Structure 1
Amino acid sequence: MARSRRQDAGLLVLRAGTGGVLFAHGAQILFGWFGGPGLGRVFRIFVDQAASSDAVHRKAEYLARTGSYSRDATTQRGAVAGGAAPRRSERHGLTAASVGMERMGFRPGRPSALLAGGSQLAGGTLLAAGLATPVAGAVAAGAMAGAVAVHTPGGFFSVSGGYEFPALLGWTAAALGIAGPGRYSADHLTGHRLNRPRTARLAFLATAALTAAVLRRRAARLPHGPEEPTP
């Protein structure tokens, strides 16, 4: 059955909303637009959130195992959760982004910082326009998979620093990449030259392989197991 204009309009609305949010987040990271901190501060925020979630997780595991937690250890964990004051060179520009990405396990930091923001910016723009939709959906989903990995220690819900929001964005972007952009799109105007089934398969397979490789490398660099607090 042919797709109705109502369904095409729904896809347009979903593309515009999802793509707009992705574009805005990418622009915040790369350029500091829309009130964002830009490359100089956004990754410092992510690092502090990840450190805080990881410290809480380790503390809970230790309490469950021993039933005790010393004041000195609490002080040490507070220092970890709060994060050490960044050096001046870490507070500004691409250097700060690179340092933040490396602390989160994404190395080398400079290309990782640019890739994270660029994937969201480009993927969001293409999704909103409905151009090369399978590629856009796959790229955006891959970027969100990285964000999900960072926020996993906080659990699912965003209120506790979890991965709820990036998971929803990534899932929606992937769904749009699979479903296609609909009639009201740049792909439709160009005869769907960049919206072929083969394009979709290649885009998702390549993105899945690249994302899995990056996350495996990140996992290998992160410390394993809860750190024992000093009595």
Structure 2
Amino acid sequence: MNLALLLLRLLLAGLLFGHATQKLFGWFGGAGRAGTGTVFEQWGFVPGARLATLAGLLELAGAASIATGLLTPGGCALVIGTMTVAAVATAPQGFWAQRGGCEVPFCYGALAVVLAFSGPGAWSLDHALGLPELSGYVWGAAALLTGLAAATVPLSARARALRARDSTTTR
């Protein structure tokens, strides 16, 4: 079980690292801060470049927490929050990624939920440092609810920005 959790953590963290560095640095075929910022603004997240930078940094922090197994529920909450925002923004295109849908953020967020409930396993910094067991129903639910609650802030701001944009384009 510990090997499986380590592999799951490293897989998800590696994917999140790539996802974040596409936004931040344009690595792995990404658009970098400016290009991703333009996309963010099209989705209603203003100012786009700053919010793309924030999203990338939060994803990197979540990836580091998950990879190392250090304070795993907190790292999972970061991923759940950022991926919820991304999933909502891309949901109008449908589910599948080939059409620009929310498949990728949904899958990353869902894996973070699983890890929040399971915990990082014995092969983690949490375990090595003797931290209390940060897994189970309470920690999983706390990570899920914290991530979802955090997502309401940018999603509410986005809704206001989209309403303002729509009101100026209909005049």
TM-score normalised according to structure 2 size: 0.82
Task: Establish whether residue 23 from structure 1 lines up as the match of residue 29 from structure 2.
Answer: no
**Using the alignment, how far apart are the partners of 2:133 and 2:85 within structure 1?**
25
Counterpart in 2 of 1:172? 111
Q: 1:209 aligns with which of 149, 153, 159?
A: 149
> Which amino acid is the alignment partner of residue 12 of structure 1?
L
Counterpart in 1 of 2:84? 145
Q: Indicate the structure (1 or 2) with the bigger Cα radius of gyration.
A: 1
Note the alpha carbon deviations across 1:61-120, whole angstroms, 9 max, x for none.
Answer: xxxxxxxxxxxxxxxxxxxxxxxxxxxxxxxxxxxxxxxx33322234454222211111
> Which amino acid is the alignment partner of residue 152 of structure 2?
A
Name the SS for the 2:34 alignment partner.
coil
The answer for unaligned runs of 5 or more in structure 2 is: 167-171
Check 1:183–1:190 CA distance in 2 against 1; reply closer, same or farther (3 A cut): same
Q: 2:54 aligns with which of 115, 139, 149?
A: 115
More helix by share: 2
Check 1:23–1:171 CA distance in 2 against 1; reply closer, same or farther (3 A cut): same
> Highest relative contact order (Cα 8 Å, sep 6+), 1 or 2?
1
**1:132·1:194 contact (CA, 8 Å) conserved in 2?**
no
Note the alpha carbon deviations across 1:133-165, whole angstroms, 9 max, x for none.
Answer: 000111011111111111111111112111111
The answer for unaligned runs of 5 or more in structure 1 is: 1-6, 48-100, 227-231
Identity value in percent = 38
**1:28·1:35 contact (CA, 8 Å) conserved in 2?**
yes
1:196 deviation in Å?
Answer: 6.6
Counterpart in 1 of 2:169? none
**2:79·2:147 contact (CA, 8 Å) conserved in 1?**
no
Task: Count matched residues.
Answer: 164
> Which amino acid is the alignment partner of residue 20 of structure 2?
G
**Using the alignment, how far apart are the partners of 1:42 and 1:102 within structure 2?**
9
CA RMSD after TM alignment = 2.5
